[in-house]
Amino acid sequence: MKRTFVIVAVCAVAMLAASPAYAHHAWQLDRSKMVTLKGTVTKFDFANPHVQIYLQVKDDNGNAETWQAGGPSPNQLSRAGWTRDTVKPGDPISVEGYRNRDGSYVLRFDTLTLASGQVLAGYAGRGFRR
């Protein structure tokens, strides 16, 4: 009886410890359609656990929408050539990625194109592209 209680308690603690990881990786992406956003960077968080780019995008009616484009870790992007100065507030950019299925203004970015036309991959194996 005591052993069963210990096993149940250990399992419960393990499940509770894992719930933040599930919430952290709970993106539900619509991978059926790649989305392209063109806008102006308002904030660039080159920090763990995932890099975040916030940008103002105009909708079809000219209204401003604030989008959050999440990517991999800074370590992974560093291996692809990114630095914390790669993108700055005020930079016009284009971002391609997959939007969350819930309709929120959130996407997981795949590539980013700077105003110069330089295309930056969001993953270390792909590096900078022209």
pLDDT means over runs of 10, the chain (130 residues): 60 49 59 92 96 95 95 90 94 95 92 93 52
The per-residue pLDDT for 13 is: 52
Q: Is the pTM of this model over 0.85?
A: no
24 within a domain of the structure (yes/no): no
70 within a domain of the structure (yes/no): yes
The per-residue pLDDT for 7 is: 62
87 within a domain of the structure (yes/no): yes
CATH number of the domain encompassing residue 121: 2.40.50.140
Q: What is the rounded CA–CA span in Å between residue 41 and residue 109? A: 14
Burial readout 9-38 (b: 16 or more C-beta within 10 A, e: otherwise): eeeeeeeeeeeeeeeeeeeeeeeeeebebe
21 within a domain of the structure (yes/no): no
Question: Domains in the chain: how many in total?
Answer: 1
45 within a domain of the structure (yes/no): yes
Q: Which domain holds residue 105?
A: 29-129
